[in-house]
Amino acid sequence: MEKIMNSYETLFVISPELSEEDTKALVEKFTGLIAENGELGEVAEWGRRRLAYPIDYKTEGYYVLVNFKSASDFPAELERIYNITDGILRAIVVRHN
């Protein structure tokens, strides 16, 4: 039986203390993970931006927005991986209707 694919959007903020190479590696890690578990859509790297409020005494972060389609069980796993990855300040996964 074919799995139902839902549309999702994820936004994650990478610590500004990481080097450019480490930042690119994290972006590639998560886009690769999403591509392995679903269909990767648009990837928009917004770059360094000011945070709305300080997080761990940091006032800037590197923003990445990714649209994708996957089965309904993958977003929970993606959020778990965000939470255990050093260098990720904040992340959110939202389902589109």
Cα separation, 73 vs 37, in Å, equals 10
For 62-73, what is the mean pLDDT? 96
**Residue ranges per domain, the chain?**
6-96
The CATH architecture to which 6-96 belongs is 2-Layer Sandwich (3.30)
User: Tokens 């589109």 sit at which residue?
Assistant: 96
Residue 89: other Cβ atoms inside 10 A: 19
**pLDDT tens, position by position, 9-56:** 999 999 999 999 999 999 999 999 999 999 999 999 999 999 999 999
